Amino acid sequence: MSALPTLDRWIPTPEQVAHANVTAFARTLGVVGYHGLLAAAERDLPGFYERLVERLRLHWDAPWERVLDLGRGKPFATWFPGAQTNAAANCLDRWVDRGLGAAEALIWEGEDGAERRYTFRELRDAVARLGSVLREAGVARGDRVGIFMPLIPETAIGLLAIAYIGAIAVPAFSGYGPDALATRLADAGAKVLLTVDGVHRRGKPVVSKHIADEALAQVASVTTVFVYPRLGHDVPMMPGRDRLWDEAVAQATPLATYERTGANDRVMLLYTSGSTGTPKGANHVHAGFPLKAMIDQHLLMDVKEGDRMLWFTDMGWMMGPWLVFGSLGLGATIVLYEGTPDYPHPDRLWSVCARHGVTHLGIAPTAIRSLMAHGDEWPQRHDLSALRILASSGEPWNTEPWKWFATYVGRGVAPIINYSGGTEIGGGILGCVPTLPLVPNSFHGPVPGMIADVYDGAGKPLRGAVGELVVTQPWPGMTQSFWGGDPQTNDDVRYLATYWERFPDTWVHGDWCEVDADGYWFIRGRSDDTINVAGKRVGPAEFESAVVSHPKIKEAAAIAVPDAIKGDVVVVLAVAKDRADEGDPLRAELFAIVDRVMGKSLRPKAISFVDDLPKTRNLKVMRRVARGRYLHLADLGDLSALDNPGALDAIDRRR
């Protein structure tokens, strides 16, 4: 097939502007378009969100006392105090009660070609049945339930059923190794785990149950495990603990209704890794994360009732629950694809989109870089005319992949809604709208309702140069501190230190950002040490902990190294106790440990032995400096805290 003219800039049509949700909401507030909404939110933030929530027509079992409570200050803001609402009921019962029960809610396609579909009524009934099973297993309001499953219908049903009964979901990445899974389940104090016998990965079975069993040997709190037979393989079942999902559900009497939960009752713990310490459990509530997902999809992605959204993700990453709560909450259909985008053929993802009439496709730039390498002809083989919105998240774009996506998948018609935020945000800080022109890699600016800015080192607004992305006012969806071990305890100290201590009353997100002369915003990378592997934020501490668990390793530092396909890859700099032990045999043992702890999908690109690591006087490893020297960067930044400059030469000698 012939090459298409490359799209260097996207321009909306008058019809796209006129029919967009953002245009309609601006008209409701008596302002003009996207920039009018930004100004309206700055003038009256509670009033802005009150009108927006009214527009979404959510169901509330009890009204709120006020929209926003700042009694404990911005870091601990609560939204809609006194109100009662249930996130799962707003995704399901609300539509059934409004006569849309026969509308399609979920479409699933497995890597093996299997397909299943659910209407809103069928999905609600499946959720009510699993909710009954969980109740019978002793899950009470506020109990934590882990999810370690691939992207199949039961994964979404599990997430919704946990919310339906007032429990707290703890989704985990389906590719984790046992130690990474155990860390999260143990920290959450999970009572029940939902898992599968195994998954398909490029045509080969992977037995997930073995990983779950190894993890649970370290987690005393889990008393019941429900195993869904995705592969139909025989797997070990522990008597008294493990139960077959299908048998339990078949015998259950569906719940008559959902739990009346408070707007600020926890609905989910999403774990996110920082540059140091153990993973942090972001506390998300019923009128927080699900509402933020709906708002962002409504205003940025222009999602409407009956649309079909496919986001290439996993339930253990933020975008999985975001897809479920956001799209179903707006009356749209979620399209789940279990496999990889280029298996068994390079056009698998495009064929899924065409076959199921996908209107909204979300994907990480890493995946596009990989898919475009197969050639321009593959997306052109399929009818992608239903696609009207493309979207991306997880990492910054490069120009050529952006243009390829817009040209060969979007056909010059569908905009790329670039979207950036985080697990603790509950959605996006920055985004695009389908009513303004777009240039490659850009954002139009803050999501309406997010009062964001770019600050210099002194905490002053900055334009035309790279600075810190900050948020200066609270928003629905923000984490309610960090999980502290039980429903009555939060880790406020760690939460404040992570986001609120650098500038007064200001959330510092950890992204480098720039606003250019034309008003476009650009993310320039992470300003902390968090590593972004193919759109997945992972902390160096987890890699380092795995490597130093080997008795022959003294210390280690995990750093991010640029990669043409994945964006970042991990390189581990390891210091052996005895240089005589260095070499390929030890390196192979270290790779095996990391595979077991983190999962093979997060395997480092390289493990390099070095003589020493740069440290401060209090022995904190300066990963930023180690990374700069490893990459031969001319500017290593501020070295005033470096206590052992000889470590830089040590990295050079061994590089």
User: Which CATH number is 565's domain given?
Assistant: 3.30.300.30
pLDDT digits (tens, 9 = 90+) for 27-76: 999 999 999 999 999 999 999 999 999 999 999 999 999 999 999 999 99
Please indicate, yes or no, whether residues 406 and 512 belong to a single structural domain of this protein: yes
69 neighbors 78 (Cβ within 8 angstroms): yes
Q: Are residues 194 and 335 in the same domain?
A: no
Same-domain status, 510 and 376? yes
Q: Is residue 86 part of a domain?
A: no
CB 439 within 8 A of CB 460: no
**Separation CA 181–CA 172 (nearest Å):** 7
- The pLDDT value given to residue 618: 47
Q: Do 518 and 551 lie in a common domain?
A: no
Q: In what order do the strands lie in the sheet with 420-422?
A: 420-422, 427-431, 445-446
Other beta carbons within 10 Å of 152: 21
> Count of residues for the chain?
655
- Cα separations in angstroms, 588 against 399, 570, 585, 610: 37, 16, 5, 16
pLDDT digits (tens, 9 = 90+) for 561-601: 888 877 788 999 999 999 999 999 999 999 999 998 888 88
Degrees to nearest 5, angle at CA 108 with 107 and 111: 155
Q: What is the 3-state secondary structure (H, E, C) of 97-149?
A: HCCCCCCEEEEEECCCCCEEEEEHHHHHHHHHHHHHHHHHCCCCCCCEEEEEC
365 & 510 share domain:
yes
Mean pLDDT of 160-165: 98
In whole angstroms, what is the distance from residue 416 CA to residue 408 CA? 12
Radius of gyration for the alpha carbons in the chain, expressed in angstroms and rounded: 24
Q: Are 176 and 217 contained in the same domain?
A: yes
Contact between 134 and 165 (Cβ < 8 Å): yes
Confirm whether 82 is domain-assigned. no
State the Cα–Cα distance between residues 198 and 192, nearest whole angstrom.
18
Angle at Cα 165 formed by Cα 164 and Cα 166, nearest 5°?
A: 95
pTM attached to this predicted model: 0.88
C-alpha span between 482 and 510 (Å, rounded): 17
CA–CA distance, 622 with 548 (Å, rounded to integer)? 17
| 326-335 per-position pLDDT tens digit | 999 999 999 9
**Cα(103)–Cα(115) distance, rounded to whole angstroms?**
17
Which pLDDT tens digit goes with each residue over 399-433? 888 999 999 999 999 999 999 999 999 999 999 99
- Give how many domains the chain has, as a whole number: 3
Q: Of 190, 223, 250, which residue sits at a domain end?
A: 250
Residue 271 lies in a domain: no
Shared domain for 131 and 63, answered yes or no, is no
In a domain, 494, yes or no: no
Give the domain-ending residue among 494, 526, 558.
526
In a domain, 274, yes or no: no
Looking at residue 272, its pLDDT comes to: 86
- Which tens digits make up the pLDDT trace of 484-500? 988 888 999 999 999 99
* Residue 145 within any structural domain of the chain: yes
**Residues 225 and 122 grouped into a single domain:** yes
456 and 544 assigned to the same domain? no
What's the domain range around 579?
539-654
| pLDDT tens digits, 188-215 | 999 999 999 999 888 888 889 999 999 9
